[in-house]
Amino acid sequence: MAEKAMEPYEIGELDHYLYGQGNHYEIYKKLGAHLVQKGKKKGVYFAVWAPHAKSVSVVGDFNDWDMEANPMERGEPLGIYTCFVPGVKENELYKYCIETCSGEYIFKADPYANYAELRPGTASKVTDLSRLKWTDQTWMENRKKWDHKKAPMSVYEAHIGSWKRHPGREDEGFYSYREFAKEAAAYLKDMGYTHIELIGIAEHPFDGSWGYQVTGYYAPTSRYGTPEDFAWMINHFHKNKIGVILDWVPAHFPRDAHGLADFDGTATYEYADPRQGEHPDWGTKIFDYGKNEVRNFLISNALFWIEKFHVDGLRVDAVASMLYLDYGKQDGQWIANKYGENKNLEAIDFFKHLNSVVLGRNPGALMIAEESTAWPMVTGDVEHDGLGFSLKWNMGWMHDFTEYMKLDPYFRKDNHNLMTFAMSYAYSENYILVLSHDEVVHLKCSMINKMPGLGFDKYANLKAGYAFMMGHAGKKLLFMGQEFAQLREWSEERELDWYLLAEKEHLAIQNWVRDLLHLYKQNKALYEMDQDWRGFEWINADDGYRSIFSFVRHSEDGKKNLLFVCNFTPMERADYRVGVPKRKQYKLVLNSDDEKYGGTGEERPVVYKAVKKECDGRPYSFAYKLPPYGVAVFEF
**Looking at residue 4, what is its pLDDT?**
60
Q: Smallest Cα–Cα separation from 486: which of 515, 516, 434, 451?
A: 451
Rounded distance, CA 223 to CA 209, Å?
14
**Residues forming a β-bridge with 86:** 43
d(CA 281, CA 170): 36
Q: What is the pLDDT of residue 171?
A: 79
Q: Where are the beta strands (DSSP E) in 100-172?
A: 105-108, 124-125, 154-158
**Strand arrangement of the beta sheet that strand 41-49 belongs to:** 32-38, 41-49, 80-86, 73-75
Query: Which pLDDT does position 168 carry in this prediction?
Result: 81
For residues 565 and 427, give the distance between their C-alpha atoms in angstroms, rounded to a whole number.
22
Pairing of strands 618-626, 366-369: unpaired
* Domains assigned to the chain: 13-108 (2.60.40.10), 154-248 (3.30.750.90), 258-393 (3.20.20.80), 533-635 (2.60.40.1180)
Residues 524, 88: Cα–Cα separation, whole Å: 55
Task: Report the C-alpha gap between 625 and 591 in whole angstroms.
Answer: 11
User: What does DSSP say about strands 154-158 and 475-479: parallel, antiparallel, or unpaired?
Assistant: parallel
Degrees (nearest 5) of the Cα angle 95, 99, 103?
A: 150
The per-residue pLDDT for 169 is 84
Q: Which residues of the chain have pLDDT under 50?
A: 1-2
Tell which residue, 471, 620, 610, has the closest CA to residue 554.
471
Q: Which H or E element spans position 99?
A: strand 93-99
- Strands 243-248 and 195-198, by their bridges, are parallel
Residue 247: C-alpha distances to residues 68, 180, 499 (Å): 39, 17, 28
**CA–CA separation, 225 and 219 (whole Å):** 11
Q: Tell me how far the alpha carbon of residue 77 is from its chain's centroid.
A: 37
Host H or E run for residue 364: none
Selected catalytic residue, list 264, 370, 400, 483: 370
Active site annotation includes 370: yes
Q: What is the DSSP code string of 464-491?
A: HHHHHHHHSSSEEEEETTGGGT--SPP-
Three-class SS state of 519: helix
CA nearest neighbour of 281 among 247, 252, 261: 252
Residue 224: predicted pLDDT: 97
Q: What are phi and psi of 476, to 5 degrees?
A: -125, 145
Reported pTM: 0.95
Q: Which of 92, 228, 264, 317 is catalytic?
A: 317
Active site residue 317: yes
Instruction: Tell me, letter by letter, the H, E, C secondary structure of 381-446.
Output: CHHHCCCCCCEEECHHHHHHHHHHHHCCHHHHHHHCHHHHHHHHCCCCCCEEEEECHHHHCCCCCC
d(CA 606, CA 604) in angstroms, rounded, equals 7
pLDDT of residue 317: 96
- Per-residue pLDDT of 336-372, as tens digits, reads 999 999 999 999 999 999 999 999 999 999 999 999 9
Q: Which of 97, 102, 134, 127 shows the shortest CA–CA distance to 112?
A: 127
pLDDT of residue 263: 98
Pairing of strands 243-248, 607-609: unpaired
Helix (H, G, I), strand (E, B) or coil at 36: strand
Within 10 A of 281 (CB to CB), how many other CB atoms are there?
10
Contacts of 281 (CB under 8 A, 6+ apart): 328
